[in-house]
């Protein structure tokens, strides 16, 4: 953390969470859910593509242990509900899978990796309302980096990470990126050096 910040030379990314941190966070959130949802009887986990799905899967594994039974898990692709579709060429869709029991009357917990502007969650809420009518919807995120543009907050936060808009937060998960880590770096650095931050060229996932 001693790297001098210079306007002309963008900062390379540095790690803020490692694999152990992420595992501990998932375990803690699982306990918080059971505690706050009174045993998580009617909880349905919905992971938001892409890394939210992997996190949700890990969270489900912990929840199953803590609750002692199988917690329903689904996936949500919110592409068709985005408000920024026209800023990029049309993207391929991911699979939306709603558990067989549905979400009507359930406590749906959305799971995502980074909470930023809140627009992804807004889209996810829109998608949910077209799918069914949950009793309540909560949000679990690995990192909250601030800079909200909508009145949205997370119910379960792995780590609050104050950032500047010049910075990019990148979550890496073993499932897609070969390792678990959360990195913070300079957006310009990321843009200039594709290997530095972009795990998947097609979905660099930088600013959120």
Partner 1 sequence: MKRHLVSTADLSRDDALLILDTAEELAHLSGRSVKKLPTLRGRTVVNLFFEDSTRTKTSFEVAEKRLSADVINFSAKGSSVSKGESLKDTALTLQAMGADAVVIRHHASGAPARLAGSDWLHGSVINAGDGTHEHPTQALLDAFTIRRHLNPGTGHDLAGRRVAIVGDVLHSRVARSNVHLLTTLGAEVTFVAPPTLLPIGIENWPCQVSYDLDAVLPKTDALMMLRVQRERMNAAFFPTEREYSRRYGMNGIRMAQLPEHAIVMHPGPMVRGMEITAEVADSPRCTAVEQVANGVSVRMAVLYLLLGGAVFADAPADASRTDSPEAAK
- Return the residues of window 158-197 that contact partner 1 according to CB under 8 A: 165, 191
Residue for token pair 């799905």: 53
Q: What tokens does 112 get?
A: 């995502």
Question: Which region, judged by CB under 8 A, interacts with partner 1, from 9-17, 82-90, 136-144, 153-161?
Answer: 82-90
Q: Is 141 exposed, middle or buried (0-12, 13-18, 19+ CB in 10 A)?
A: buried
Shortest distance, position 125 Cβ to partner 1, whole Å? 12
List residues bridging with 108 in a β-sheet: 44, 137
Strands, E assignment, the chain? 14-17, 43-48, 73-76, 107-115, 136-144, 156-160, 167-172, 181-186
Using CB under 8 A as the binding rule, whether residue 91 contacts partner 1 is answered as: yes
Dihedral class, residue 102 (left if φ above 0, else alpha if ψ from -120 to 50, else beta): left
Using CB under 8 A as the binding rule, whether residue 99 contacts partner 1 is answered as: no
Using CB under 8 A as the binding rule, whether residue 88 contacts partner 1 is answered as: yes
Using CB under 8 A as the binding rule, whether residue 41 contacts partner 1 is answered as: no
Shortest distance, position 83 Cβ to partner 1, whole Å? 9
Figure out which of the listed residues 27, 64, 117, 193 binds partner 1, where binding follows CB under 8 A.
Answer: 117
| Residue 15 or 129 having the CB closest to partner 1 | 129
| Residue 77 or 180 having the CB closest to partner 1 | 77
| Residue 19 or 150 having the CB closest to partner 1 | 150
CA distances from 123 to 94, 150, 165, 186, 197 (A): 15, 11, 22, 27, 25
Using CB under 8 A as the binding rule, whether residue 130 contacts partner 1 is answered as: yes
Distance of CA 206 to the CA centre of its chain: 12
Contact 130, 103 (CB under 8 A): no
Size of the site for partner 1 (CB under 8 A): 35
Q: Report how far residue 130's alpha carbon sits from residue 45's, in angstroms, rounded to the nearest whole number.
A: 17
Figure out which of the listed residues 1, 7, 92, 100 binds partner 1, where binding follows CB under 8 A.
Answer: 92
DSSP H or E segment with residue 54: helix 51-67
Figure out which of the listed residues 21, 42, 94, 175 binds partner 1, where binding follows CB under 8 A.
Answer: 94
Shortest distance, position 178 Cβ to partner 1, whole Å? 21
The binding site for partner 1 (CB under 8 A) comprises 77, 80-81, 84-96, 116-117, 119-120, 126, 129-132, 147, 149, 165, 191, 203-208
């Amino acid at each position: 953390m001693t790297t001098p910040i210079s306007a002309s030379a963008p900062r390379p990314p540095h790690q803020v969470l490692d694999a152990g941190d992420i595992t501990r966070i998932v375990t803690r959130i699982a306990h918080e859910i059971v505690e706050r949802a009174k045993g998580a009887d009617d909880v349905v986990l919905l992971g938001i593509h892409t890394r939210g799905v992997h996190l949700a899967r890990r969270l489900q594994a912990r929840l199953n242990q803590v609750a002692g039974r199988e917690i329903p898990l689904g996936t949500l692709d919110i592409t068709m509900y985005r408000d920024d579709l026209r800023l990029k060429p049309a993207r391929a869709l991911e699979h939306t899978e709603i558990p067989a029991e549905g979400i009507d009357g359930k406590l749906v917990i959305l799971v995502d990796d980074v909470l930023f502007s809140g627009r992804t969650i807004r889209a996810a809420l829109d998608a949910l309302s077209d799918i069914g009518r949950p009793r309540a919807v909560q949000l679990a995120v690995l990192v909250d980096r601030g800079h909200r543009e909508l009145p949205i907050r997370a119910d379960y936060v792995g780590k609050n990470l104050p950032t500047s808009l010049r910075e990019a937060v990148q979550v890496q998960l073993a499932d897609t990126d070969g390792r678990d880590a959360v990195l913070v770096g300079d957006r310009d650095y990321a843009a200039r050096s594709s290997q530095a931050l972009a795990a998947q060229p097609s979905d660099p996932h930088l600013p959120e």
